[in-house]
Chain A
Amino acid sequence: MQGMMPGQAPPLVRFAGVQKTYDGEHLVVRNLDLEIRKGEFVTLLGPSGSGKTTTLMMLAGFEVPTGGEIYLEGQPIKHVPPYKRDIGMVFQNYALFPHLTIEENVAFPLSVRKVGKAEMKERVQAALRMIKLEGLARRRPGQLSGGQQQRVALARALVFNPRLVLMDEPLGALDKRLREEMQLEIKQLHEDMGITVVYVTHDQSEALTMSDRIAVFNNGIVQQIDNPHALYENPVNSFVASFVGENNVFSGIAQSIQHGFCEVMLSTGHKLIAKMGNVASVGSATSLSIRPERISIVSGRASVEMPNHLPARILKSIYLGDHALAVLSVPGEGEVVVKIRSDQHDLPADGQTVAIAFRPEDCLALDPVQTNLLAGASGQVGKITLSKSRTKEGSSYNVKI
C-alpha cells in the first residue's frame, strides 16, 4: 500500500468512508477509503458485483453515497449534480448521440458551456486530430466502427479539459486486437495530456497493462491498492492472488514461522517453505500461492537441493506458441499448471513421473481460500484456480477439477 507521503499535494479525489446500498440491506460498497492523485491512472478492478462500477457512478454523480463523503479537489461533492462536476466520462457502449454528427458530438460539452464559435471549432478540430478521425467529422456515429466510436467518445470526454476522466469498461465491446491497440492509445493519451483517469474493468490483464495503481474490489471492499508489480508479486490475500494473474494453490497448515518465512505441511505430509503472506499464525490453515511460471519441472531426484519439491505426474502438455503449459497431478493436491518456455525441446511426455520445484520466495502463504470470495470471483471453486482473465477470448487455459 502506497499511503500518502507528508508534504505531497492533496489528492484530487478522496473517498472517505463511502458506503452504498440499493436495498437498505446489502452494502454494495462498504467503507471505501480511496485517494487518487492528480495525473494518476487508477483502475478499479474486480469481478462483477464487487462494487467497482457503483464506486465509479458515485464519483460521476449518477449514484448518491448512502454514507461517507467524496471530495474532489478538497470540496465535498456528494450533493453536486453530475453536470456541475466537470468530470468527463466514457461509457461502455460509447453513448454517442446518434442524431448528431461526430463533430457535433465532440462539440456538445463545449456548446453547453457556451464556448465561442471560433474556439469551439478549433478545439473540436484538435480533439479529432488527437484521435486521428478528422476525416469523419461529418459522419454519424452509426456509420463508424466500434473502435472509431470509442475514440470519438474519448475525444468528447476530453475536449472540455475535465478535472478527471472516468472510463466504465470502455473497451468491453471491442475485439481482442482492437482492445489491445486502444489500451496503448489510452495509456499514451494519459501520459501526453497528464490527465487523471479512473478506469473500471474486470479484465486483470487490461488493468496491469494500463494502470499506475490498481484497486482490487471484492464484495464491496477494496482488497488491495497497489501498483501492478506489487499487486502481482505481493498480493495481500488469496483473493487478490487468484484474481490478478494465474495461480496454483496448495492448502496446508502453518507449522512454524521465522524470518518472514513459514513452514507449511500439506495434507500428504510434505513440507514446503513459503514467504509469509497474511497467514494468521502457527497452526492455522493456509493456502500457498505459486505462479505457473515460477514452478520448474525436474526429473527424478535431481532437485533435492531445492527446499520445495513435490512428486508429480504429467497429465498433458499444451503448446501455445510463445509458451507451453504442462498440467500435472500432484498426489493429494489435485492438478497443478506449470508454464514452460516453448523453445525447450523436451516438452515432457504425458504420463511421465517427475517432480515440481519452486523457490520459497516465489511461494506465498496466504489466508485459506474462502469459497464465498472465490465464488464471487469466478464461479469456480477449487484448489487450482487458473485463468482469472475473464476476457471474452482470454488466454483461457482453464483447468477444471
Chain B
Amino acid sequence: MKRKLKRAERRRQFRSLALIFPLLAFLCFAFFGPITGMLLRSVEDLEVRRILPNTVAALASWDGRDLPGEKAYAALAGDLSVARANDTVAIASKRLNYSLIGIRTVLASTARKLNALPEAGRAKEVLEKINPAWGDHATWVTIKGASGPFTSFYLLAALDLTHDTDGTIVGVPEEQAIYRDVFLRTFIISFSVTLLCMLLGFPVAYLLAALPPNRSNLLMIFVLLPFWTSLLARTSAWIVLLQTHGVVNDALHWLGIIDQPVRLIYNRFGVYVAMTHILLPFMILPLYSNMKAISPAYMRAAASLGAPPATAFRRVYLPQVLPGVGAGCLLVFILAIGYYITPALVGGGGDQMISYFIALYTTDTANWGLASALGALLLLVTLLLGFAYGKLVLGQQVTGGMKN
C-alpha cells in the first residue's frame, strides 16, 4: 500500500520534472553555464603554465627573494625554444605583459636570439647576455605570479590594484588606474538615470492608476509603445533629434533662443536623456501595479480623520508605494549599470560605462581574463543590490488591511 503510494508520488514528481526540464536545460545552457565560465575565467591563469611548463615547475620551489637558480634558467631556455618552434611565445608574452609592461619584448627577443640550448650550467649567463632583464628580480616574480592555475591578478586589476614584487596588494600607478573611475562613473550615471526615471515616472504612474480605465488604457499605450520599440531605433532617434543640426537645435535656433547649436549629444546630457527615455517604462510599470493596488479609500479615510492632502500623501500614500518605488528604482538601476549600446552611441569618450570596457576586452584585445573580472564585479554589485532590496523592501512588506 505504502509502496504503491510512493510509486505514484514518484511518478508525479517525475512528470512535473519532465515538464520543467526544457526550461531547466535552457537555463543551464544559456545562463548558469556562461556565468560559471565567466567567473572561472576571471580567476584562472593557464597561458604561461601551458607554454612554459618546465619553467613554472622549476619556479615552484623558488622562495622569490633572490634570483632563481640555474635550474629555472635552463628550464626557461628549454621552454622558449619549444615555444618558438610551436610559434606560441606570443600567447605567454601577451599574458605576462599584462603584469609587467615590456616583458613581451624581452621574451620575444630572447626566443628569437636563443639559437641553441645553452650548455648545462651556463643557461643563466647566456640568457642574461641576450637580455639583461633576465637578471632582474621583477621579471622572474612576474613569471612566477602568472604561473597559475588560479590568480587574483585580473580581479585586482579590475579594481586598479596589483601585487607588487613583495606580493603585497598596492594600487596601480596613477596613469594606469581607470577602472575605479569607470565604476564610479557607471554608478553616477545609473544613479542619475534612476533618479530621473523616478521623478518623471511617479506622476505618470499615479495618473495611470487614478484615471478611469478607458483613458488610462490610452495613456498606457503611450508608455508601452516606446517599450516595444527596438532599443537601437530609440537610441538612433535621439541622435536625429539631438545632433548639432538636429530637430531640437534647429527648433531652438528658429525660436531665437540660441545662436549657436548647443551640444546635446555625444556628452553626458545625451546619455542621460536617451537612457532615461529607454528605462522609464521599467520604473512606471512596477509603480503603476503598486499604486493600482492601493484603494482610494485610504486617502478618503485619511482626509476624514483630518489629514490635509499633503499630509495624507506623505503619511498614508507614500509609505504604501515604497515597495513599488524600491522595485522600480532597483530594476532601473540594475538595468542601467549594465548599459552598453546607448552610452556607446550617444555618449562621448568620458561617458562610457563599465560594459563598454567589458566589450572592448572581449572583442578587441581578447583579454578575456580582465573582461571576465569586470563582469564578475558587475555581477557582484547586482547581486548585492538584489539582496539589499530583498532585505529592505520584501522584509517589511505590508499585508493589506483591505479585504476586497
A contact set with B: CB distance below 8 Å: 60-62, 81-89, 91, 93-99, 108-109, 112-113, 140-144, 146, 149, 156-157, 160, 166, 173
Contact = CB atoms under 8 A, between A and B. Distances in A.
A97 B306 contact: no
A160 B400 contact: no
A378 B311 CA distance: 42
Contacts of B300: 60, 62, 82, 89, 91, 95
B298 A83 contact: no
Contacts of B401: 94-98, 140-142, 144, 149
Contact of A81 (B295, B303, B402): B303
A102 B207 CA distance: 30
B399 A89 contact: no
Given A95-B295, A99-B319, A83 B398 contact: no
B308 interface: yes
B399 A142 contact: yes
Interface string B283-319: 0000000000001011011111111110110011001
Nearest to A111: B315
A97 B309 CA distance: 15
Contacts of A94: 401-403
Contacts of A83: 302-309, 312
Interface in B353-404: 398-404
A109 B306 contact: yes
A91 B305 contact: no
12 contacts: A83-B306, A87-B304, A89-B300, A91-B300, A95-B401, A97-B316, A98-B398, A98-B402, A112-B311, A142-B399, A160-B305, A160-B306
Contacts of A84: 306
Nearest to B301: A95
Contacts of B306: 83-84, 86, 109, 112-113, 160
A352 B179 CA distance: 100
Nearest to A113: B306
B398 A142 contact: yes
B320 interface: yes
A220 B295 CA distance: 27
A98 B307 contact: no
Contact of B304 (A60, A96, A97, A146): A60
B304 A82 contact: yes
A200 to B, nearest CB: 14
Contacts of A87: 304
B48 to A, nearest CB: 59
Contacts of B315: 108, 112
> For B295, B316, B401, which residue has the most chain A Cβ atoms within 10 angstroms?
B401
B303 A93 contact: no
A109 B302 CA distance: 8
Nearest to B319: A99
A82 B303 contact: yes
A140 B400 CA distance: 9
A70 to B, nearest CB: 15
A373 B401 CA distance: 37
A140 B309 CA distance: 24
Given A91-B297, A93-B403, 14 more contacts: A60-B300, A60-B304, A62-B300, A83-B307, A83-B308, A93-B402, A94-B401, A95-B402, A97-B320, A108-B302, A112-B306, A149-B401, A173-B403, A173-B404
Contacts of B404: 93, 173
Contacts of A91: 297, 300-301
A251 to B, nearest CB: 41
A150 B382 CA distance: 44
Contact of A98 (B304, B311, B400): B400
A173 B297 CA distance: 15
Given A97-B401, A146-B403, A89 B319 contact: no
Nearest to A87: B304
Contacts of B304: 60-61, 82-83, 85, 87-89, 157, 166
Contacts of B400: 98, 142
B403 A98 contact: no
Contacts of A109: 305-307
Contacts of A173: 403-404
Contact of B295 (A93, A146, A160): A93
> For A60, A84, A109, which residue has the most chain B Cβ atoms within 10 angstroms?
A109
Contact of B303 (A61, A99, A146, A166): A61
Interface string B11-51: 00000000000000000000000000000000000000000
Contacts of B298: 95, 97
A60 B398 CA distance: 28
A195 to B, nearest CB: 15
> For A82, A86, A141, which residue has the most chain B Cβ atoms within 10 angstroms?
A82
> For B298, B319, B320, which residue has the most chain A Cβ atoms within 10 angstroms?
B298
Contacts of B399: 98, 140, 142-143
A87 B303 CA distance: 10
A100 to B, nearest CB: 8
Contact of A108 (B295, B307, B309, B320): B307
Contact of A140 (B301, B312, B398): B398
Contacts of B308: 81, 83, 112
For the complex of A and B, 6 pairs with smallest distance between CB atoms: A141-B401, A142-B399, A95-B301, A109-B305, A89-B304, A96-B401
> For A81, A89, A113, A146, which residue has the most chain B Cβ atoms within 10 angstroms?
A89
B320 to A, nearest CB: 6
A81 B403 CA distance: 27
